[in-house]
Amino acid sequence: MNSKNISWILRLVISALFIVSAIAKLYPSPYFSISTFEVKQLYPLGFSEGFAPYFSRILIGIEFALGIAILLNHYLKKITIPATILLLSVFVVHLSYTTFVSGNSGNCGCFGELIPMTPVEAIIKNIIAIGLLVWLNKLLPKDGKSNFWLLKSVALGCILGLFMLAPIRPVEEVIESPISEVQENLGVVADSTSLLTVEIPETEVPTTNVPTVENPEVEVKKVEEAPKKVKSGYEKYFPGIDNDKKILCYFVPGCDHCMETAKEINEMRKKDKNFPPVYVIFMNEEPEKIPTFFEFAGTKFPYKLIDVIPFWTELGNGRDTPGVKYLWNGNEFTFYDGISDNKFNGAEFKKTIKKPLSELKK
C-alpha cells in the first residue's frame, strides 16, 4: 500500500473520530446533551454559567470543523494538523490533571453520554490520535495552493450551526407548576390548563387517648422524637415539604431506571399506610412522556418540571438520575442516586424510613 492510500486512511479515521465525538455530545438531544456537558464537565473546571454555554457550542463546532478540514487539501500541514494536535494535547493535559486530582472515575465526556469513557481511556485514545496525526504529517507532501477563506467558512459555519441547533435560552428554574397546594396534599396531578374540582371527604376529628377516671387503663401514645425543623430549600417547589417525613425524587421522564424506581416506590407505598408522601422533580427533557411515566409507575405523584441546567444543579455535582431523598422536617437523611454503587435500594430504604431519630445518621 502506497503512502497516498495510507494517508487517506489516516485522514478518514481522524475525521471520523472528531465528527463522532461532536455528534455524541448532541445525543440524545442537542440542548439536553450540551447542557449536561456544561454542568458535568465545564462547571467543575470553573466555567461560569454565563460563559459555559458559549464555550461548549464553540468547542463542539470546532470538533466538527476539524473533522471536515482534515479531509480538505487546504493548509492541511500548516493549519489543520497542528491545530488538531494542539486541541488533543490540551485534552490530554486536562484529563491527566483530572485523573491526578479525582482518580480514574466517571465519564470524561469525550463522547458525551453515548459512549462513556474514563479519563485514562480518553488519554490513551488522544495519544494514539496524536501519533496518527504525526504519522500523517510525515506522509503528506507540502501544502499546495490553499484557500484560507474555505477553512474559515467551514469553521464559522460549524460553530454557527451549533448555536442554531441548540440555541442558548434563558434558564427558567420552574418550567411548569401543574399542581396547586390542595392537589399536592391529596397527591393529585392535573393539567395546568384545565379546571379541576376536588372534593375533600368529610373526616372525623381524631381523638387522643387520654386516661380518665372512667378509663384509667388507656395509655398515652408516646410522641416520636423528631429532628429540629430546617429549611431544605425545596419549599419553593412544594410548600409544606419541610414538615414531617417526605420523599423527594429526581427523575427524567424518558429514563427507564427512573420509571422502575418510581414503580418500586409506589409498590412500597401501597403496602405501608404510613409511607411518607412522595414528590417528584422532573427534568424538562421529553416532558410529553410524563403521562406514560406515571402510567408505568402505577400512580401520579405531585411534581414540578424544571429546566435541564437547574435540574443538574439541584441534583448535585457528580450525581445522576434516578435520585431519591428521604427528608424529615427538612433534614436530609438518605440520598440515593444513579445506577451504580449508590443506586436506590428499596429494602434498605424501607428500613431507613422506619428508624427512630436516634438510629439515623445525617
Q: How high is the pLDDT of residue 202?
A: 38
Cβ burial of 104 (10 Å; 0-12, 13-18, 19+) is middle
Check whether 199 has a pLDDT greater than 60: no
Q: Is the Cβ–Cβ distance between 14 and 136 less than 8 Å?
A: yes
Is 150 a residue whose pLDDT tops 90?
yes
Query: Of 9-18, 184-193, 230-239, where does mean pLDDT reach its minimum?
Result: 184-193
> Cα(238)–Cα(305) distance, rounded to whole angstroms?
12
Three cell numbers at 55? Answer: 464555550
Per-residue pLDDT for 196 more than 60? no
Give the confidence band of 140 by pLDDT, cuts at 50, 70, 90.
Answer: very high
Q: What is the mean pLDDT of the chain?
A: 85
pLDDT of res. 144 = 87
Highest mean pLDDT (candidates 314-318, 323-327, 337-341): 323-327
Residue 92 has pLDDT above 70, yes or no: yes
Higher pLDDT residue, 44 or 287? 287
Average pLDDT of 176-182? 45
For position 208, what pLDDT does the model report?
47
Residue 174 CB-density burial (10 A; 0-12 exposed, 13-18 middle, 19+ buried): middle
Cα–Cα dist 66/18, whole Å: 7
- Predicted local distance difference test score (pLDDT) of residue 206: 46
Average pLDDT score over residue span 126-142: 95
Q: For position 362, what pLDDT does the model report? A: 52
Give dist(CA 43, CA 41) in Å, integer. 6
| Site of grid cell 453520554 | 113
> pLDDT by residue (tens digit) across 273-298?
999 999 999 999 889 999 999 999 99
Q: What is the percent of the chain where pLDDT is above 90?
A: 63
Average pLDDT over residues 73-93: 94
Mean pLDDT for the stretch of residues 188-205: 37
Is the pLDDT score of 122 beyond 60? yes
| CA contacts within 13 A on the Cβ side of 39 | 20
Residue 171, pLDDT score: 65
The letter for the amino acid at 261 is T
* pLDDT surpassing 70 at residue 145: yes
Residue 334 clears pLDDT 90, i.e. is over it: yes
Residue pLDDT, tens place only, 209-252 = 555 555 555 455 556 688 999 999 999 999 999 999 999 999 99
Please check the confidence at residue 18 and state whether its pLDDT lies above 90: yes
Decide which of 215 and 355 is more confident.
355
- 355 pLDDT more than 70: yes
181 touches 109 (CB < 8 A): no
Angle between the 290-297 and 256-271 helix axes, to the nearest 10 degrees?
40
pLDDT of residue 42: 87
Q: What's the average model confidence in pLDDT over 16-35?
A: 91
User: Is there a cis peptide before residue 206, judged by omega within 30 degrees of 0?
Assistant: no
pLDDT at 184 over 90: no
Quick one: pLDDT at residue 189?
Answer: 40
**How much is the pLDDT for 214?**
53
Confidence band, pLDDT 50/70/90 cuts, at residue 180? very low
Identify the residue with better confidence: 341 or 245.
Answer: 245
Count other C-beta atoms under 10 Å from residue 90's C-beta.
Answer: 11
Q: Is the pLDDT of residue 204 over 50?
A: no
